[in-house]
Structures are given as structure tokens and as C-alpha cells.
Amino acid sequence: MKKLLVFLFVAVLALAGCVQTKTDVEGSKDSKDNDKSNGKVAIEVLGMASAEEDMNIVRDQLVKNGFDVKLNIQPDYGSFSAQKEAGNYDLALSSWTTVTGNPDYAVRGLFKTGGDYSVVADSKLDALIDEASTLTGEEAAAKYKDLEQLLVFDQAYIAPLYISNKYQGIYSELVNPKTVLLPKSRAQVWEKIEFNDAAKNATEPLILHQTINSLTSLDPIKGNDGSINTLNTNMYVRLVNLTDTDEVVSDGSLSYNHVMAEGNQEYYFILRDDIHFAAVKDGGAVDTGELVSAEDVVFSLNRAKDANSVPDHRTYSIHENIETVEIVSDLAELQSKKVAGSEQSVLDALSQNLPASVAQLTKEKGAVNNAAGAYQVVKITTPTPFPQVLNYLAHQSGGIVSEKQVTSINTYDVASYDPDKDIAYGDQATITEGSATFNNQLYASGPYILVKKNDYEAQFVKNPAYRAGSEYEPKIAKINVRFISDVDSALSALRNGEIHVLQTVPETKLDIVKSDAKLTLNTADSNAVSYLQMNTSGRAVSDSADLRKAILYSINQDEFISYYQGNKKPAVSTVSPLIDTGLKLEADSEKVKEFVKAYNDNK
């Protein structure tokens, strides 16, 4: 992920700038009367002190249009979240990266009533989100245009700022830059990376970087933010993956092949048998001998779609369009079903490039033997046609966990869960040095497993039973993820070789990387959109669309693009990087005056 996230991949941007006002959680929930004695409308902007440039621009644009701006600046994500939950803001400076490559993910959790991170409750918007999710091509683009019109221009629930590009710095004096991928959506792909000197792969740790040191959870369904997205993506294998350009593929996943059956409601996956769960023993990784099986897939995806399977479930809405997950044991079913848009049978499509022809299907993991033709096939059914389900399965929350291990640890009652006494699978305290509950019981199905962490870094080692001998076997044996919250400090660490990859190079620092002979700069398109989130409860902006629209038309995206030397793009909503609806936001001071007047007249 590119930045600190307010939501799944959500980055919070704020300034430690001119009007430095911090409010206690209990303290600054203003009344709905936002007017100052000077007649100006007061706006409180909430964020973290991590992006001075963006906050300066937002502040100046609002002040220019007649607002009094107060900054509620918080030092870290935890305190920001507490302030947001307490409602101490009019605007929250936020960002969202669509890490699944599909537009439904760009809106469902953020803006649908009851969504994982939604503060919006609008039945018309809900209907548009649901309808758009079933469409493709021009029909989908038209419906997402309607959605953007309502979200941004009719109701102004958000005010878009810009789309970011991706800029990655590599310490290429040590690391082979050709092996460091920069996907548009998927998190960093660790298993591909190699040192220039291949002999170092087994002996030297690769040192990566992230800004957040407090991890939400190592249970893949309990977090959807920048603290764990990359970590869980590399700890848990999924049924499918995304390419660098967001194509859904089976490459590097638990499946040899996957197909969508005629009708677009049934999805089949034929599983491979060369991945076992890894566990931690004596500070290293061991092969448990337990196959990552169809039984584990069924367990993992059923809990992923069940909002009540774990306390504080953060990703269930991503998988709410899964109706059933089951193991197929009848070959005749695969022979009789056709692939969507084709006369080919599902069996023929699943049978491409297997170790041996499919002779039998089994529900029992102990009977699996791909070399002898014994396979497991999983079928996922959706209640309505929903091809975007495949993109969601590529999300880190679709990671496959061990049914045996998770059920042995999660023995608490979910309804009465007490974090002070109950231990849940994936709790960061269980893998943190010095913690009273330090007892690493993680089981990893992916290429790496986290062995321990502290405030300085998290240490991973390769899963010895992940695709051994194949092109997907992890190349580097040890990976340390260094926690550095300040981006300038992280860039200095990259230049000094203290970290080897900086996943996000600030647009204002690109020339530094380009001019350093020890470094290589990778660039790519991004699905990251920065925007202002309006408070929808308890504030003047909550009740007045006119006031929200006055804020909306105060935003001049050209000034952001100019400041970042053309390295940003215009946005309308979080859908913008995925579908061009033709809509555009243009700053308009006259409209601001009209909407402020309408707001004042209707108070």
C-alpha cells in the first residue's frame, strides 16, 4: 500500500502546519452551529501530521473561499481513528487504494450503508452500488457515472483531490531491480525478489519498509489497512492473484486453473498439492506436513463472508456476494457444465497443464495426489451474476488459513469477546517480543511467515513447503520489514542501503532517486485516490448538502497537480482510476458563494 491507511488500503494525510489545534477525543465535538462571530463558516479538518503539503493546499483553498479552517492534527493512526470515531471533524483528509482492481471494491466498503468503513447512509447510493456491481463494459461505466454524480456532485459526501502514481525506489546496488514488481493493485510480491549476487539469497536478509508498526491483526480477515495488507498478502496464499495490470489469474496461487461457468454464478478452482502450512519453531519456519486443502478453503471463505465469525470483522462486506463454498466430488458435474461464453466444458478448462489428467476428485485431503490424478476442486456460488467476486478472492482477506490451527486458538465466544483476556488467532501481541502473550502460533499458507516483531521491525522467513522447486519458491530466505514512519527518513535509509526497497517515493523526491547511481526508480499507474471525507453525523456539514457542495467547489485539483510537478492526475471518486465516467470537478468560487448563501438562508 502506498500510504498510511484510513480505511483498507486508506491513507490519512494531514499537516503539522499553521493553525495547529489538537483536540481531545472527549473535547471538540462542535455543535451544528459552525458560524464564527466574523460571519465565516468554521471548518475543522482532521488528519495526521504526515503530509504537510496536501494540508497546506487544502487549507489555503478553503481560506481563499471564505472559510475559517481549524486543524485537528493527530500524531498517529490510532489517535486519528479515535478522533474520527468521536466525530471531532468536519473533513477528514483520506485516501483509498483499490487493491482488488475492480470498481465495486472502490465503493462498497466506503460508501454503502453499513459498509466496513462507511459513514454514509443513502438508500439511492446503495441501490446504485449493487446494480453497478452486476454490470460490465459500457453499461457498468454508465451506472458508475450515475453513482459518481450522486456521491460527489448531488450530495458531496466526498471532495476528490487527486489520483496518485506509483513510484518505487530500489537499492539496485544490492537488489536486482528486474525482480522487484510494482503491481497497480496487488501488494508487493516478495517471493520474486532476488539479490544481484544469488549467493546472498540464502544468507542475507532483504530489508523492506512500511510506515506503521502497530499491526491490526495477522488474521487476514480482521484487517484491511496499510499495517497488514502487504504482510498478510505474503503470509497467506489465495485462490487467484492479480497481475501487475489487474488481470485475475491463477499464477502463483493455490489453484492450477479457475473458470467461470455459464450464467456467471458458479466459479470452479482446481487446487494444487505442493503447498503446506508452515509454523514457527525455535525462531524459524518448519513444514507442518499439513496440506493447504479444499477443507481449509471452505473454512477460510465461510468465515471471511460471515460478519460474526470473529470480533471486529473488517472485511466481511468484501465477500458478502459469496453464497456457498463447497468441495466438488462428482466429475460428471464438471463435464456437464460449460465455461461462460464458450462451448468448452468446465472440466476441460480446469485440466490445462496439470501434472496428470484428472482421474478422480476427492473431498479428503489425505487422498490428494496430483501426480496420480487425484485432485480437489472448490466451487463458489454467488446469488446473482457477479464476476467481480474473482477480484475479491485475490484480496488479502481471501487468504487461506488453517482450519485446524485457527479453531484450536479461537475458542472464545465471539459475542462476549474480551480483548484483555481472550487470545485470538493473529493477535499482534502473540508475535511481539516482550509481550506477556508472546507465543507465535501462526500457520502460514503463503511464501513467508512472520516469526517475531518489535517496535523496530518484523522478521519473516520463507515457508519451506511453499512451491518447493518451482519458479514460485521464495528466492530470499529472510525478509525484515523495517518500521520508519517518516518518509524522508525512509528515503535516507534507502540511499544508505539500510532498507532495500522503498515502496512509495514521494513525488517531490523523484529527482533524488533518479540522480543516485545506487538506486533505481520504478514507476506505474496506481488505483490510489486522495479525497476529503465529509462528516455525516452531528455537524453542520452532516445536515447541509449546500455546505458540503461549497467545500467541494473550493477544491482546485490543478493546484495539487502543479505542486506535484504533474505527477498527480484529476479524480472524481475512488472509481476514477478504474473507469472514466467522463465527469470532472472544476473549482468554482461563484458556486461556493451560492452554496454558502443557500446554507446560511436555510439554517
Residue 235: Cβ-neighbour burial (10 angstroms; 0-12, 13-18, 19+): buried
pLDDT value, residue 276: 98
CA separation for the pair 250, 155 (Å, rounded): 40
Q: Which long-range contacts (CB under 8 A, 24 or more apart) does 326-330 make?
A: 326/298, 326/378, 326/379, 326/381, 327/294, 327/295, 327/298, 327/363, 327/376, 327/377, 327/378, 327/379, 328/268, 328/361, 328/377, 328/378, 328/379, 329/361, 329/362, 329/363, 330/361
Give the model's pLDDT for residue 35.
Answer: 54
Residue 271 main-chain phi, psi, to 5 deg: -95, 150
Cα–Cα distance between 547 and 540 in angstroms, integer?
A: 8
Which regions of the chain are under pLDDT 50? 1-31, 37
Report pLDDT digits (tens) over 330-358. 999 999 999 999 999 999 999 999 999 99
Task: Give the count of beta carbons closer than 10 Å to the beta carbon of residue 39.
Answer: 9
**Cβ pair 516, 492 in contact under 8 A:** no
Q: What are phi and psi of 594, to 5 degrees?
A: -65, -45
pLDDT for position 3: 35
Handedness of CA 22, 24, 25, 28 (dihedral sign): negative
Instruction: Name the DSSP letter for residue 565.
Output: T
- Give the pLDDT confidence score for residue 306 in this predicted structure: 97
pLDDT at 53: 82
What integer pLDDT is reported at residue 17 of this predicted model? 33
Q: How far, in whole angstroms, is CA 27 from its chain's centroid?
A: 32
